Structure 1
């Protein structure tokens, strides 16, 4: 068993796992261009005044990634190049709503045009808006399903994904 001693300015050991999870949430939202999730998590962090802890963990995660991917001398060059290219305004995730055509995606899926679906997804740099539009379209279609269909669909999805808990069927607008 390894015993560690906490330094005065160090993040308390019991808070490390929680902070890592929060940093990972922030990184995932940034990586996938999910502006809403990124902004929400950032707002929570700022409201709780724990920016220092999360910044420390994000830096640790980035340093570990660089250490594992590059030899030390190459890693330093990569970091210097990234620092030179850093945008002036880093306050948000870059998104592009204009390239997300959810209606075209739904039509392509319905028609079974696999190549078009793949092309649409590949051509959309930020899939957050594309998936959001797809979810909105599905929600609009739910009231049109015959009685009991939704239960069958959700039961099949649970079987496929290993979930067994029963959740009562929700009707749109409720």
Structure 2
């Protein structure tokens, strides 16, 4: 049996797990470029003055990632290169799949509720899941489009992707009601 003692300045195990979760949220927001979620989480940390704990855990997470990805000598070179390239402003920046509420986002967009849209985006650090939910919603809506509309949308997207800005008249597909 292993006996451990908690030091005076040491975080209790529950606090460590909570801080790991917050650190992961912060890292995902940064990785996926969700500035709103990153800023919101950072503001909460500053209010609670938990920066030291989360900073320690971010360093631990980064050290573990480097340890698993690189041999020790290579890992040190990678870290040195990162330190040399560190931007002067590091405030710019996503969490868990369960927080990505695409349905709530869709409802907020439908209602024209800009504040609700911002709240959904800010509360979803890992926007990859949110975008996945939106993609699923679009796929579910496609069969509801009138015949030919999906093809017209695809043609417009292809034109935009190709960089053409001029409007090109399209051949319209007859709708069932036009036949």
The TM-score bracket by the shorter chain reads: 0.5 to 0.7
Would the aligned equivalents of 1:6 and 1:13 in 2 still touch at CA under 8 Å? no
* Structure 1 unmatched runs, 5+: 94-126, 146-174
- The equivalent residue for 1:28 is 28
| Structure-1 separation of matches of 2:60 and 2:4 | 18
CA distance in 2, matches of 1:2, 1:35: 43
- Distance in 1, Cα, partners of 2:34 & 2:51: 20
1:3 deviation in Å?
Answer: 2.9
The offset of 1:12, in angstroms, is 2.0
Partner residue in 2 for 1:75: 75
Report the Cα distance in structure 2 between the residues aligned to 1:69 and 1:31, rounded to whole angstroms.
17
Moved more, 4-13 or 61-70: 4-13
Larger Rg: 2
C-alpha deviations, 1:57-102, integer Å up to 9, x for none?
A: 0000000001111111111111011000000010122xxxxxxxxx
Counterparts of 1:81 and 1:46, CA distance in 2? 29
How far apart in 2 are the matches of 1:62 and 1:7? 24
Post-superposition offset of 1:8: 2.6
The 2-side partners of 1:42 and 1:6 are apart by: 27
| Unaligned runs of at least 5 residues, structure 2 | 94-126, 146-179
Map 1:1-174 onto structure 2 (within 5 A). Answer: 1-93=1-93, 131=131
Measure the CA separation in 1 of the matches of 2:51 and 2:71. 30
- TM-score, structure 2 length as denominator? 0.51
Q: TM-score, normalised by structure 1?
A: 0.53
Deviation at 1:7, TM superposition (A): 2.2
Task: Tell me the number of residue pairs that the alignment of Structure 1 and Structure 2 aligns.
Answer: 105
Alpha-carbon distance between aligned partners in 1 of 2:45 and 2:29, rounded to the nearest angstrom: 14
Q: Once superposed, what is the RMSD of the aligned Cα atoms?
A: 2.7
CA offsets, 1:108-147, max 9 Å, x none?
Answer: xxxxxxxxxxxxxxxxxxx78x95xx79xx8xx9xxx9xx
Is the contact between residue 30 and residue 38 of structure 1 (CA under 8 Å) also seen in structure 2?
Answer: yes
Question: In the aligned structure 2, how far is the partner of 1:36 from the partner of 1:88?
Answer: 20
